[in-house]
Amino acid sequence: MEITDDKLLKIALVTSLIGLIGLIAFTPTIEVKEVDIKDINRGMIDEEVSIKGVITDVAQSSSKTSYFLTVNDGEAQIQLIIFESQVAEIESKNLDIDSFKNHKVQVVGTVTQYNSEMELILSRGDSLRIVS
């Protein structure tokens, strides 16, 4: 059997379509791992995680475009960074970032490290929500 350019193109197209269908089928089932704040470590950098805790402090950046929230789960705390695009998304829902203070929240964010401290960067504007 001789492999021609035409046959190779057909094989590549079929393989690509199978891969795309697999991605579409399995993407909704991928869940973010829920962790305790104390368990977040350098091995999780660039990983998306979910945490629960109380917002104990809200600070705005000097440029007034970003926010720094301290999330405490009773055992540990971590800094949550909300950049300008997520701030706009949150405020478009008539929510004020300061209103999250002293409320228990669930956060989905990406683990990063800044000045040897672990931090979370908010994934999307709807990734910060108040829970009971």
pLDDT at 124: 86
Task: Select from 105, 110, 106, 104 the least CA-distant residue to 49.
Answer: 110
pLDDT of residue 30: 66
Residue-wise pLDDT tens digits, 78-95: 999 999 888 888 888 888
Note the pLDDT of residue 57.
94
* Burial (CB count <10 Å: 0-12, 13-18, 19+), residue 125: middle
Q: Structure pTM?
A: 0.74
Q: What is the pLDDT of residue 112?
A: 95
Q: pLDDT (tens digit, 0 to 9) for every residue of the chain, 132 residues total? A: 687 888 999 999 999 999 999 888 877 666 788 999 999 999 999 999 999 999 999 999 888 889 999 999 999 999 999 998 888 888 888 888 888 999 999 999 999 999 989 999 998 888 888 886
pLDDT of 99 reads 87
User: How many residues does this entry show for the chain?
Assistant: 132
